[in-house]
Each structure stands twice: as C-alpha cells, then as structure tokens.
Amino acid sequence: MTLQTNEKRLLDNLHTLRTFTDTPQDGVTRFSYGTQDARAREYIIKRAENCGCSVSIDALQNIRIGLPTNKPGRKTVLSGSHIDTVRNGGWLDGIYGVCGALEVLETLAENPDSLKDASFNYELVIFAEEEGSGFGSTMTGSKFITGIYAEADLDKLVSDTGMSLRQTLQSLSPYGPDGKTIVYNTGGLSQEALQNVRWDFDQVQTMLELHIEQGPVLDREGLSLGIVDSIFGMRVIEVTLTGVGNHAGATPMTERYDALCTAAECILAAEAHVKTDDDKRTVVTCGKMDIEPNCSNVIPETVRFSLEVRDKDETKIDRFMNEIIDLIVAIAEKRQVNCEIKEHSKSSPLHLTDRLIDAMSKHAAALDLPYKVMDSGAVHDACMIAKYAQTGMIFVPSINGRSHVPEENTNDADIAAGVQFLLDTVLHELHEVK
Ligand SMILES: [Zn+2]
C-alpha cells in the first residue's frame, strides 16, 4: 500500500508555526509552557481533532494524539518530536518532526482503508521541554516518560527567573488563545498523575523521530536522507578557576593570577588535544562561562566554565576527557591559579534498532534516494525511548549545516521527501512487523 503525503499542507503548517515566535524578526523563540507554545499546541491539536483524532496530555504536558481507527489493546507505532526551541533558533528543529508526524496522521485519517489490515495503532507524540531553554535540562518530557526524572526533579529544575518546574506546571491555565481548545493538563501533579506520565513500553511497538540533521554531512555530500545508527554519548565537567582579583591598571603583567587567561589557555589546550583525534569525530565544547567580577577594569578572580566531550565510542570519551583534565590541572598549576573540577553529567553512546536501520536502508535504496547511514552528534528525545523500545531516526539535510540559529533551513524538496519517507516507514511498521 502506498500513500502520498500532501506537500502543500505540510509546508503551510510549517510556515504558520514559524510565526509562533517571541522574536519575529530574529528566528524562532518558543519556550515550553509559554504563550507561543500554547499557540503551537492549539494549532496542532485543532488539526488533529478536525480529523477525528483523540488527544491526551500528561502532567508534564507531553501530548499523544491517536487515530480514530486505533483499537484498544493493540501496540502502538509512535512518531514525533518537540515544538520548543532555543532562543533565536531555527524554524525546523523539532517542529519539523512534529509536522511530519502530523502529516502522517492526517494522511492516514483521510485514508482509513489503508489501515484495514494494520496490526498496530499509530500515534503522534509531542515531547515537552526538549531544548532545556526553560530549566537548563534537555529532554525533560522524555526523561519523565522513561523514569529518568521523578517527582523530586520538579523542584530541582528551576528557571532563570527562579520558578521551579513544579510551580511552572501549576501556573498553567488549560486553554489555548482561543479559550476553547484544551492545550495543557491542569489535573495536578499527584503521585498518580506522575505515574501516568511513564509509558508502558510493552504497548510501544516502534518509535520513529524525523529531524533535521543539524550538521553539515548530508548537505556537503549532496544526500537527501540520513538513517541514524549511532548517537554520540557525552561527558560534561564543570571547571572553577580561582585566581586573584586586582586592579587592571596597577597590577604588572608579571604579578597576575588571572582566572580568565587561565581558562582561555585550558580551553584552547582542550581544543588542540581533541583535534589530534585520528578519525576526527570526537568533539569538545566550552559553551558556558561565568566570570567574576566581570568588570572591564578588574582582573578576573573566578571563572567557572563547562566543558563537554562527545563521541560514539565511550572509551574515547573517557580517554580524551581524562587527558583534558590532566592538561587543565597542569595549566592551573603553572599559572598558580586554584582549580576545582566537578563531573556534571554523563550519557553513554547509543545504537538504534538494527531491524529499522536495515528496513529503512532497503526502502531508500529501492526509491533511489541518495542516503547514508550515519551517526548523530546531537541527542534527541528518541534516544531516551531507544533504551526501552525499537527506535529509528531519519535525518534530512540542514543547508550549510546550520541549526539553532535563524539561518537554519532545508530545501522544500528535502522537507517533503523526509516526510514521505516517514509515512512509508510508518505504513511498513503498521503492517508488516509482527
Ligand atoms: Zn530538536
């Protein structure tokens, strides 16, 4: 059975959702639980309800939307992603996978005959708070779904404005901007409500996430599709360097214990060291730094920065990170600056389901689509699910490899081909896998 997605409808949805942003002149800014989030949820829920689908929202505000033809007791094939963004992000990250799964939902709802012999149900899933823009922790919704996060984390996760995740969830009102469509679950955060956020993985047949690549590989190689096999793991440390704050004019260069110059040397040493990697896949990033007192005329006394190493090989992550820690300690010692290093977080590399990788590769080859089986340097909601259910990920090219910036883009033809490929894969999963 082949079905055709509706490219115009898909692009219309994406372009409408692009306007739901707090920064209209400067990319898409749509944080979880905010006004633009409510608008986007309302838009998607209304479309789904118009084709007779049923919507359920859990206490963390993850959404699941099922086809009217779904039958109780059957396992489910799920597809989806997230609708929140980073600040001044792009118009496709997350929402592309949601609109793709919505297009699959609408196409299947219009063609109930195509599901006559289906063995499984189909649902669209929207994971809440993926980017960590609100509470500093990524994939929050899917971490509650899998039980990595539990009730205590509702109080530990706190936004920049000092509001905890619990307070934020408690402050939501149920309706979207039209005052009619329920977009948030305000049923409270009882033990039972939180227990219901956890998925029963015995009922999950397959999880599929369609996403933009967010890197340069497919665009550079002129390919239109990526089938993900491995997801990078990472190890993150927090380094605090404490020197001596002093007057920026009166302190000679030979008598300084400058925490920021020390940090700069450490970060450049880490970069140079990781660049010696033979297969050029290990990456190191310092993305966050606090400087005290952060005044133009005072030598920085304290600098705190994050450093993360990622690779698909866990032994390489550990080896590089351990070597970087030795370098940092040596540099701090040489500069007579105090150094404290804390392990911040760690996640292991992940391999997605071979059966799905094989099936999708065969299908792409049969369609003559230029594709490759590839790693993902970024972690996605599907990676959380992958430990418990058969999981596949599909990438489409990001032009010039740009993402999390207003310039983020993908050609219309690639956008459409990715969604058609998702529909083909969903149909295959619904019918042929027992
Ligand atoms: Zn994303």
Domain of residue 312, CATH code:
3.30.70.360
Distance 63 CA to ligand 1 centre (A): 16
Stretch 9-16: mean pLDDT: 98
Q: What are phi and psi of 412, to 5 degrees?
A: -55, -40
Q: Residue 160 sits in which domain range?
A: 7-232+349-432
Q: In sequence order, what are the beta bridge partners of 240?
A: 304, 340
Q: Are residues 252 and 359 in the same domain?
A: no
Least confident of 14-18, 75-79, 359-363, 430-434: 430-434
Q: Are residues 192 and 79 in the same domain?
A: yes
Distance 129 CA to ligand 1 centre (A): 10
Residues 127 and 83 sit within 8 Å (Cβ to Cβ) = no
- Is 2 within the bounds of a domain? no
Q: Are residues 214 and 300 in the same domain?
A: no
- Is 281 within the bounds of a domain? yes
Distance 94 CA to ligand 1 centre (A): 4
**143-185, pLDDT tens digit by residue?**
999 999 999 999 999 998 999 999 999 999 999 999 999 999 9
Q: Which two tokens stand for residue 272?
A: 């140079």
* Helix segments in 201-282, DSSP class H: 217-221, 259-274
Residues 71 and 430 sit within 8 Å (Cβ to Cβ) = no
The whole-angstrom separation of Cα 153 and Cα 7 is 41
Q: Are residues 318 and 356 in the same domain?
A: no
Structure-derived torsion over alpha carbons of residues 6, 116, 203, 141, reported in degrees to the nearest 10: 20
- Of 332, 347, 362, the one marking the end of a domain is 347
Q: Are residues 360 and 426 in the same domain?
A: yes
Distance 211 CA to ligand 1 centre (A): 7
Binding residues for Zn(2+): 82, 93, 131, 211, 404
Q: Burial code of 243-253, b = ≥16 C-beta within 10 A, e = fewer?
A: bbbbeeeebee
Q: Which amino acid is at 404?
A: H
pLDDT at site 1? 61
Distance 131 CA to ligand 1 centre (A): 7
pLDDT at site 57? 98
Residues 140 and 157 sit within 8 Å (Cβ to Cβ) = yes
Distance 116 CA to ligand 1 centre (A): 33
| DSSP for 143-192, written as a single string | HHHTTSS-TTHHHH-B-TTS-BHHHHHHT--SB-TTSSSB-S--S---HH
**29-80, pLDDT tens digit by residue?**
999 999 999 999 999 999 999 999 999 999 999 999 999 999 999 999 999 9
- Is 317 within the bounds of a domain? yes
Binding residues: 82, 93, 131, 211, 404
